């Protein structure tokens, strides 16, 4: 059964869960204590968003679905997150850049989604928008600081841009389930967000003395469940307990 | 005034329960003892993030994952308060952290034990945080003001940590046979190291007497340890589990539980660096610090550029 609303909700949930999982790898390993707390806090915020989306998807699915069956008992090909969020953390610069790319996108997305005809999705987006506003501000400041910091930090940011830019375009291509929900004003038309997204990137990059790369070949597929090899390892680790001890209450 | 007079006045202040504040005169040894104790405490919070952080990626449900992340984040926050308390005594955070990374400073040995199963998250919350709380509740009344005030905040969060740990175990002990076995196994592994957290016996403790006189400590190691045993011996019944001590027995005469002897050779071995994870924990801290060096440098360079830009604009 392919219900576009369920697929869309899962897409929103998977994006946030996988990024939360990645960011939480920094916990106890950050470059300075305050920033360890900050990235962990962002992880916690977007994990909270993921839970809200999964809980809604579970209601839509009915039967025995719960937030946990959806997070822990689906396999690789069923996950609908963008490829960007499953990329490895790399150094602090790459993590910061990934967060900036994503928070900038998410801010524009939720700004529209809070007016969705679907009341549940609208409510989750409205609540999350405050958090995302902070994530965007925090990551913007770090992009500037690292881009315009030392020669080394500048070089590291250029490397991060080169590594992550192939995953940018996917954010702005509608999947089938998004297209199907456009007419009813449920999903956000993501291509329409791109201009504003670029504007923000340009202004922050200008201040950071960084450039947007041109003619980058886009890698896509995550939203349809065709991922990079990295996702399998994320799931293997994340789902270990539920797979090893099925049918248990935790 | 002579030095002895200062010392006499200082002790009078302590005896009348007036808090010592950063700018007050204090004996060098008092300052040194505090810096040692507070920094050890701070390091314990920071190193303590590692064994629990080890299970964030594998937490068995989204709710447990969120709680665990929040908990480890609290510990980072506690580390921050305590490093700040150290700074009020004239020791910078950088110095304090360098002492940890160089291996000069100590932290609680309990964090040199590995977290092998999910149940360890429960056992750490219940036993390790439980033991820490007894110590910290006492420290809320410690004679040094900034330390006492940091402890009040920390204690509030720690009691939530202990409850969440107990709740993990309570859920396991109501679960499948495999979950019950996992729960008992974790209690078996964490019980004795938790008892060791209170430090050497009073008769062997070199710092206790002076610390009690200065009211940095208000209870001895053995008093706190007994309080902990009495508490856990009752709580374990709620879990339908047992504590791994054949000598554990209620003593009607003393109105306390008798308990077996700690393996002190293990205790001293872990203190000396031979515990299961001493090397890994310190390596992880060093690596985070070294990998973060370029980030801290960049932040400092950027801040400097910004200041000089503002100055030239103002000029």
Cβ of A248 and B291 within 8 Å?
Answer: no
Determine how many CB atoms are found less than 10 A away from the CB of residue A170: 19
Where would I find the H helices in B16-144? 28-53, 62-87, 93-101, 119-123, 129-139
User: What is the rounded end-to-end Cα distance, in angstroms, of chain A?
Assistant: 30
CB contact under 8 A, B301 and A40: no
Closest CA to A243 of A7, A74, A34: A74
| Residue length of chain B | 315
Contacts by B88-92 with C-beta closer than 8 Å and gap 24+? Answer: B88/B22, B88/B146, B89/B22, B89/B31, B89/B34, B89/B35, B89/B38, B90/B31, B91/B35, B91/B39
Lowest mean pLDDT, pick from A18-22, A156-160, B104-108, B309-313: B309-313
pLDDT at site B83: 96
Contact between A37 and B73 using a beta-carbon 8 Å cutoff: yes
Q: How far apart are CA B56 and CA A91, in angstroms?
A: 20
Q: Which residues of B touch A146 (CB under 8 A)?
A: 295, 298, 302
Q: What pLDDT, in 10s, does the model give residues A117-145?
A: 999 999 999 999 999 999 999 999 999 99
Ordered per-residue pLDDT tens for chain B, 315 residues = 788 899 999 999 999 999 999 999 999 999 999 999 999 999 999 999 999 999 999 999 999 999 999 999 999 999 999 999 999 999 999 999 999 999 999 999 999 999 999 999 999 999 999 999 999 999 999 999 999 999 999 998 888 899 999 999 999 999 999 999 999 999 999 999 999 999 999 999 887 888 999 999 999 999 999 999 999 999 999 999 999 999 999 999 999 999 999 999 999 999 999 999 999 999 999 999 999 999 999 999 999 999 998 888 887
Written as six digits, the tokens of B27 are: 């004996």
CA distance linking residue A162 with residue A158, whole number of Å: 6
Coil, strand or helix at B116? coil
Stated length of chain A: 250
Do the beta carbons of residue A182 and residue A192 sit within 8 Å?
no
CB-based contact A33 B178, cutoff 8 Å: no
- Residue pair B294/A150 in contact by the 8 Å Cβ criterion: yes
Is the CB of residue B199 less than 8 Å from the CB of residue B211?
no
Task: Check CB contact under 8 Å for B297 and A150.
Answer: yes
Using the predicted structure, report yes or no on whether residue A1 has a pLDDT greater than 60: no
Cα–Cα distance, B37 to B44 (Å, whole number): 10
Looking at domain A4-244, does it have CATH number 1.20.1260.10? yes
User: What does the pLDDT read at residue B267?
Assistant: 96
Nearest to A248 among B62, B69, B179 (CB): B179
Question: Quick one: what percent of chain A has pLDDT higher than 70?
Answer: 99
pLDDT at B311: 87
User: What is the DSSP track for A76-124?
Assistant: GGG----HHHHS---SHHHHHHHHHHHHHHHHHHHHHHTT-SSHHHHHH
**B309 CB near a chain A CB, below 8 Å?**
no
Kindly list the domain boundaries of chain A, sorted by start residue: 4-244
> Residue A247 has which token pair?
């049918």
CB-based contact B257:B234 (threshold 8 Å): no
**pLDDT tens digits along A161-205:** 999 999 999 999 999 999 999 999 999 999 999 999 999 999 999
The answer to whether the CB of B136 falls within 8 A of the CB of B158 is yes
Task: Enter the ipTM.
Answer: 0.97
Is B292 within 8 Å of A24 when comparing Cβ atoms?
Answer: no
Residues of B in contact with A36 (CB under 8 A): 76
Which chain A residue has its CA at the smallest distance from B174's CA?
A249
Is residue A55 scored above 60 in pLDDT? yes
User: Cβ(A81)–Cβ(A175) under 8 Å?
Assistant: no
């Amino acid at each position: 059964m392919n219900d576009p609303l369920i697929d869309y909700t899962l897409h929103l949930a998977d994006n946030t869960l996988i990024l939360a999982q990645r960011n939480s790898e920094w916990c106890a390993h950050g470059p300075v204590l305050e920033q360890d707390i900050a990235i962990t806090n962002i992880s916690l915020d977007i994990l909270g968003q993921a839970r809200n989306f999964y809980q809604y998807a579970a209601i839509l699915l009915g039967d025995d679905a719960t937030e946990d069956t959806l997070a822990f008992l689906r396999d690789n090909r069923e996950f609908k997150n963008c490829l960007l969020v499953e990329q490895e953390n790399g150094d602090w610069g790459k993590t910061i850049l990934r967060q900036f790319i994503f928070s900038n996108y998410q801010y524009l997305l939720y700004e529209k989604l809070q007016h969705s005809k679907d009341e549940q999705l609208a409510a989750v987006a409205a609540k999350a928008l405050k958090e995302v506003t902070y994530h965007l501000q925090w990551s913007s400041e770090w992009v500037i600081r690292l881009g315009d910091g030392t020669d080394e930090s500048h070089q590291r940011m250029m490397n991060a841009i080169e590594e992550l830019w192939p995953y940018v375009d996917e954010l702005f291509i509608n999947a089938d389930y998004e297209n199907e929900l456009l007419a009813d004003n449920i999903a956000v038309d993501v291509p329409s967000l791109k201009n504003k997204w670029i504007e923000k990137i340009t202004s922050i990059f200008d201040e950071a003395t960084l450039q947007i790369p041109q003619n980058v070949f886009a890698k896509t597929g995550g939203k349809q469940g065709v991922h990079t090899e990295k996702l399998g390892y994320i799931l293997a680790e994340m789902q270990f307990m539920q797979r090893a001890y099925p049918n248990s209450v935790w | 005034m002579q030095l002895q007079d200062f010392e006499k006045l200082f002790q009078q202040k302590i005896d009348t329960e007036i808090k010592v504040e950063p700018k007050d005169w204090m004996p060098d040894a008092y300052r040194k003892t505090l810096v040692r104790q507070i920094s050890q405490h701070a390091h314990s919070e920071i190193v303590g993030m590692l064994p629990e952080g080890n299970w964030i990626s594998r937490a068995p449900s989204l709710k447990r994952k969120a709680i665990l992340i929040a908990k480890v984040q609290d510990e980072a926050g506690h580390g921050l308060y305590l490093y700040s308390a150290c700074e009020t005594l004239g020791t910078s955070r950088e110095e304090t952290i360098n002492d940890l990374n160089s291996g000069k400073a100590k932290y609680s040995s309990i964090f040199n034990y590995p977290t092998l199963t999910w149940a360890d998250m429960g056992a750490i919350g219940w036993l390790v945080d439980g033991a820490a709380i007894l110590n910290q509740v006492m420290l809320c009344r410690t004679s040094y003001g900034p330390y006492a005030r940091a402890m009040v905040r920390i204690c509030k969060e720690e009691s939530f940590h202990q409850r969440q740990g107990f709740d993990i175990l309570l859920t396991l002990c109501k679960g499948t046979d495999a979950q019950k076995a996992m729960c008992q196994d974790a209690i078996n592994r964490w019980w004795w190291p938790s008892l060791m957290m209170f430090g050497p016996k009073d008769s062997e403790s070199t710092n206790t007497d002076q610390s009690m006189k200065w009211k940095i400590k208000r209870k001895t190691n053995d008093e706190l340890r007994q309080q902990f045993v009495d508490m856990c011996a009752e709580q374990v019944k709620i879990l339908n589990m047992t504590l791994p001590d054949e000598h554990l027995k209620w003593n009607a005469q003393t109105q306390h539980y008798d308990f077996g002897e700690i393996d002190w050779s293990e205790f001293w071995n872990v203190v000396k660096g031979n515990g299961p994870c001493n090397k890994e924990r310190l390596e992880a801290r060093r690596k985070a610090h070294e990998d973060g060096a370029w980030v801290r440098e960049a932040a400092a360079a950027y801040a400097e550029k910004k200041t000089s830009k503002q100055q030239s604009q103002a000029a």
